[in-house]
Amino acid sequence: MGSISRPVTEFCLDLYNKLNRNAENTNIVFSPMSISVALALVHLGARNNTAAQIEEVLHARKATGRTSLGSDPESAETEPEGSQEKQLSPSQCNKDGDLNHKEFQALLLQLQNLGERYVLTLANNLFIQQGFELQQQFLTCSEELYGAMLQTVDFHGAVEAARIKINTWVESETQGKIKELFAPGVIDVHALLVLVNVIYFKASWEHKFEEQKTVQRDFKLNQNEKKPVQMMYQKGTFKLGYIEEMGAQVLELPYAQKTLSMIVLLPGDMADGSTSGLEQIESTMTYENLTLWASSEHMFETTVEVYLPRFKLEGTFSLNEVLQEMGMTDVFNESKADLSAMSFAKSLVLSNVVHKTYMEVNEEGTVAAAGTAAAIVRRSLPLKEVFMADHPFLFFIRHNPTNTILFFGKLCSP
Ligand SMILES: *[C@@H]1O[C@H](CO)[C@@H](O)[C@H](O)[C@H]1NC(C)=O
Ligand SMILES: *[C@@H]1O[C@H](CO)[C@@H](O)[C@H](O)[C@H]1NC(C)=O
Ligand SMILES: *[C@@H]1O[C@H](CO)[C@@H](O)[C@H](O)[C@H]1NC(C)=O
């Protein structure tokens, strides 16, 4: 394990940079892990260049095989592609391409067993226009690897019924937290294949915030505007780091049993009148830097007074355009898509990829965790630090055993 940590992080940063364009002052949250899994599911059904482009976007191509696949659709079309042929072996579901389905499967298994203090619901489904004959191998493997069930709907003849069917499925998968994924009229009657990927997350902090310490405080939206928010507070021992060059702080807040952690990247205060702190982090946030900033070598344990707003975030994205910009063009193009491992029909093409993340951040924790905190000897350490998240910041939620980014987001307005 661990080798999907890097590709997921790189995919995360690519996607964040796309979603963050024209998103100044806008909250963002998405799950790079969950979207990667959804695309891996499509990859199971894809062949030739269509499959290769998915591997490229997911950073799954082996270093030696790096090509400009997807960046130039015209030249890709004329390439002889027989050599890239990938076939499902009848005995196992892992294709012999560069994408390691077994690793995603192993990660998903770990995420299903986080324990009772976690709620992490990940659901992937492909909705396909009725009439397409499906490859049995694909049905078997998509269920075996990803627990995904292909469902047949009639977009052409009964798009409203199809919409209701998808929404109902999403609502039931997320225990009612995600309702009305698709508003009326959103689904195209010409749709053939719609990939729906939703994830819901809620967990207990390892060290809970006491509710009576939550107070209303101003959150600075920018230099001139503020808004009152419910600011949680606790003083405890946490891992804290600095990005010296930009006066930013990095705080790790562990969830139950420290299996997952939220890492908050907080730019320096805006008191000096600069709002560029966030952009400065964004522009230097490479894979290497992000990994370094959030590593235990870069952080030290100390007593920290933590102020963090209570927030709920929902992010819904139709990813067709950004995925195409990232190089996954063929799967969306009628004359190029090769989903022949999914269906015998030549004309099958991916119509839509919709991702939705829903997460909540509040005080919740457990009595047991509060008990351990009390064991810390109280002295006034000179090292006491203040972490005041009262202005826009970036955060991500990491699965610590595999170092995989499950969620990534930007909070501009709680
Ligand atoms: C794509 O894959 C199929 C089946 O694996 C193969 O028959 C075909 O020659 C490949 N190449 C192209 C360009 O379709
Ligand atoms: C990595 O972060 C440092 C600040 O810690 C910054 O000076 C440097 O430019 C960043 N690297 C890249 C490639 O952006
Ligand atoms: C699909 O691919 C063909 C052939 O390269 C191209 O001419 C066409 O513009 C593409 N269609 C779309 C919608 O991108």
Q: What pLDDT was estimated at residue 296? A: 85
> Residue 30: how many CB atoms within 10 A of its CB?
24
CA distance 279 to 283: 6
Average pLDDT, stretch 135-142?
A: 91
Q: What pLDDT was estimated at residue 271? A: 56
CA angle, residues 54, 196, 139, in degrees to nearest 5: 70
CA nearest neighbour of 357 among 205, 235, 174, 225? 174
Report the nearest atom of ligand 3 relative to the CA of 333. Answer: 1
CA of 181 to the centre of ligand 3 (A): 29
All structural domains of the chain: 2-203+313-360 (3.30.497.10), 211-310+367-411 (2.30.39.10)
> DSSP string covering 352-389, please?
EEEEEEEEEE-S-B-HHHHHHHHTSPP---TT-EEEE-
Question: Which residues make Cβ contacts (< 8 Å) with residue 296, sequence separation at least 6?
Answer: 239
CA distance 120 to 113: 10
Q: What confidence tier does 274 reach under pLDDT thresholds 50, 70, 90?
A: low
Name the residue with higher pLDDT: 391 or 90: 391
Instruction: Answer yes or no: is the C-beta of 73 below 6 A from any ligand 3 atom.
Output: yes
Residue among 69, 77, 83, 338 to mutate when testing ligand 1 (max atoms within 8 A of CB): 338
Average pLDDT, stretch 323-330?
A: 96
Which of 59-68, 170-179, 345-354 has the weakest average pLDDT? Answer: 59-68
> 150-197, pLDDT tens digit by residue?
899 999 999 999 999 999 999 998 888 888 888 898 889 999 999 999
CB 154 within 8 A of CB 130: yes
CA distance 388 to 325: 37
Q: What pLDDT was estimated at residue 374? A: 33
**pLDDT above 70 covers what percent of the chain?**
85
Q: What confidence tier does 264 reach under pLDDT thresholds 50, 70, 90?
A: very high
CB 216 within 8 A of CB 228: yes
Query: What pTM did the predictor assign?
Result: 0.87
Instruction: Answer yes or no: is the C-beta of 321 below 6 A from any ligand 3 atom.
Output: no
- Dmax over CA atoms of the chain, in Å, equals 71
Average pLDDT, stretch 130-142?
A: 90
> 9-54, pLDDT tens digit by residue?
999 999 999 999 988 889 999 999 999 999 999 999 999 999 999 9
Q: What pLDDT was estimated at residue 380? A: 41
CA distance 59 to 98: 9
State the average pLDDT for the chain. Answer: 84
Residue 82 has pLDDT above 70, yes or no: no
Instruction: Answer yes or no: is the C-beta of 284 below 6 A from any ligand 2 atom.
Output: yes
Which of 290-294, 374-378, 381-385 has the weakest average pLDDT? Answer: 374-378
Instruction: Answer yes or no: is the C-beta of 67 below 6 A from any ligand 2 atom.
Output: no
Residue among 249, 250, 284, 286 to mutate when testing ligand 2 (max atoms within 8 A of CB): 284
Q: What confidence tier does 275 reach under pLDDT thresholds 50, 70, 90?
A: low
Average pLDDT, stretch 195-217?
A: 91
Question: Which residues make Cβ contacts (< 8 Å) with residue 77, sequence separation at least 6?
Answer: 336
Average pLDDT, stretch 336-365?
A: 89
Name the residue with higher pLDDT: 3 or 63: 3
Average pLDDT, stretch 217-246?
A: 92
CA distance 118 to 365: 11
Instruction: Answer yes or no: is the C-beta of 245 below 6 A from any ligand 2 atom.
Output: yes
Which residue reads 């770990």 in tokens? 110
CB 299 within 8 A of CB 239: yes
Residue among 289, 291, 292, 293 to mutate when testing ligand 2 (max atoms within 8 A of CB): 289
Residues, the chain: 414
Q: What pLDDT was estimated at residue 375? A: 32
Q: Which ligand number lies closest to the CA of residue 245? A: 2
Q: What pLDDT was estimated at residue 360? A: 85
Q: What confidence tier does 228 reach under pLDDT thresholds 50, 70, 90?
A: very high
Residue 295 has pLDDT above 70, yes or no: yes
Residue 84 has pLDDT above 60, yes or no: no
> 238-262, pLDDT tens digit by residue?
999 999 888 899 999 999 999 999 9
Q: What confidence tier does 62 reach under pLDDT thresholds 50, 70, 90?
A: low
Which residue reads 């002295």 in tokens? 379
